Amino acid sequence: MSLFLLLLCAGQCQSQFRPPKVEITEQDTVGYGFFRQEENGIENAAYLEPLFHKMFRQRVGGGHKISIVHIGDSHVLGNFMTHEVRQRLQNAFGDAGRGLIFPYKLAGSNGPRDYLIETDARWHGTNCQRDLNVATPYGVSGFLLETFLETGNLTIRLRDTSTAETRLFTKVVVFHREDDGPVDMTVQDDVTGQKAVLYLQDEFFKSFYFDRPVAQARVSFDRRQTEKTGGRFALDGILLENEMAGVVYHSIGVNGAKFSDFVRARYFGRQLADLNPDLIVLSFGTNEAQGKLTANHVYQQMGELVAQLKKYAPNARFLFTTPADSYLRGQGFNPYMGPISAEIKRFAQENGYALWDLFLLAGGEHSAKNWKSAGLMSSDSVHYSKLGYAVQGKLFYQSLMQAYNAFAGQVIEE
């Protein structure tokens, strides 16, 4: 443990001696000829200068935590793309923790593979895309997990099943709502024997801190002390961080999701504000482009979602992405991908937000066949292979770093 703390300290100190610009290496690039590399950039990058300024200060001096929230559909849910971006940003600017996680398997969904969650309780789960009501009771993850048991446990382990890598954390925030009365909650690590201290709480979350870093934590809830019969315990998500400065890259995805599904999620913006986002990345469009929505409706839903998020996170900057091309219901050319991507681009341009145009970068209409022939698309011709998502993550990281490096160059000249 002492060695680990020394390594953490050394990593933190090293950030003070890094050059301001970030080197983009061969490991960050892709070698597929159908990409229009000259188009790989962030439109209206000047809008992101507050974010870049904070990144610059962290890069050269340390002491700053940068929170990025990436929201989207199934392309984000699997964490293959966002893992690539998270890993590279944390290598360049420091690792401040894993960020938001959720027990997707307990809710009957696929999810990331870099953590494990076990439980002794029976849970029922759903998400904001499945619920078609005008207003839905979903929070920060877009999912809801609930149990009607009076007591139960969830054990979280930050262990990547593909690499066997284990990561440590000191902060655990449990997002939940006390609609049915208050809940007693404890967080402890059975390996080190530590019991985390409850530091902050309100009706939407409880925040706990460990004295020393841990690789796992058991979250226990008890509703018996409320002397209330019936009711439920509802879980919206769990946040894992450490005491280090650097980047926290949260990924929030829901299978089949559209902008409108998060608009209808009543508690989404309120709880997302507790992630203190410096940047909110919005990656939708694939599901809107299945032929059921007009471009004007999509434009309206983008406006409503941004308005909700700005209400609770007024200092956050917004970056929209267009989706890569895919087939219509997996059967062939999708004529709606172009118009929907154009509408996302128009919204970002007309409202002064930043944009990463993956649709254009990858070749625009009919480019899905290139993804397919290169082995970058899955068999359903709507989603992408693990390699395909890794390529998207590298391209997105490149665009961010090119924009950041341009900003850093201007600061150096001044």
212 & 335 share domain = no
Q: Is the dihedral of CA 72, 75, 79, 80 positive or negative?
A: negative
Closest by alpha carbon to 246, among 14, 46, 42? 14
* Final residue before a domain boundary, out of 220, 243, 266: 243
304 & 355 share domain = yes
Q: Residue 181 has what pLDDT? A: 72
234 & 270 share domain = no
Q: Cite the DSSP H helix spans in 94-231.
A: none
Beta bridge partners of 71: 252, 282
Coil, strand, or helix at residue 196? coil
87 & 203 share domain = no
The CA distance from 200 to 203, in Å, is: 11
* 163 lies in some domain: yes
Strand boundaries in 86-179, DSSP class E: 99-101, 116-119, 124-127, 143-147, 151-157, 169-177
The CA distance from 137 to 153, in Å, is: 23
238 & 273 share domain = no
Count other Cβ atoms within 10 Å, centred on residue 223. 25
* 9 lies in some domain: no
239 & 301 share domain = no
Structural domain total, the chain: 2
Closest by alpha carbon to 126, among 272, 234, 21? 234
The ranges of the chain with pLDDT < 50 are 1-8, 10-15
Residue 366 belongs to domain with CATH number? 3.40.50.1110
Q: Which residues touch 411 (CB under 8 Å, ≥6 apart)?
A: 20, 53, 56
* 78 lies in some domain: yes
* 231 lies in some domain: yes
179 & 59 share domain = no
* 17 lies in some domain: no
Q: Residue 386 has what pLDDT? A: 96
- Residue 149 near residue 233 (C-beta atoms within 8 A): yes
Residue 126 belongs to domain with CATH number? 2.60.120.260
* Final residue before a domain boundary, out of 212, 243, 274: 243
pTM for the full predicted model: 0.94
269 & 283 share domain = yes
Q: Report pLDDT digits (tens) over 142-175.
A: 999 999 898 999 999 998 777 778 899 999 999 9
- Residue 289 near residue 190 (C-beta atoms within 8 A): no
Q: Residue 228 has what pLDDT? A: 53
Contacts 24+ apart (CB under 8 A), 159-166: 159/114, 159/115, 159/116, 159/215, 160/113, 160/114, 160/115, 161/113, 161/114, 161/116, 162/113, 162/114, 165/114, 166/215
204 & 86 share domain = no
Domain that holds residue 255: 35-96+245-414
- Residue 130 near residue 261 (C-beta atoms within 8 A): no
236 & 253 share domain = no
Closest by alpha carbon to 131, among 230, 254, 233? 254
Q: Residue 244 has what pLDDT? A: 94
266 & 391 share domain = yes
Q: Which residues touch 405 (CB under 8 Å, ≥6 apart)?
A: 21, 22, 24
42 & 143 share domain = no
- Residue 70 near residue 283 (C-beta atoms within 8 A): yes
* 369 lies in some domain: yes
Q: Residue 10 has what pLDDT? A: 42
* 15 lies in some domain: no
* Final residue before a domain boundary, out of 193, 221, 243: 243
* 22 lies in some domain: no
The CA distance from 221 to 167, in Å, is: 24
Q: Residue 14 has what pLDDT? A: 40
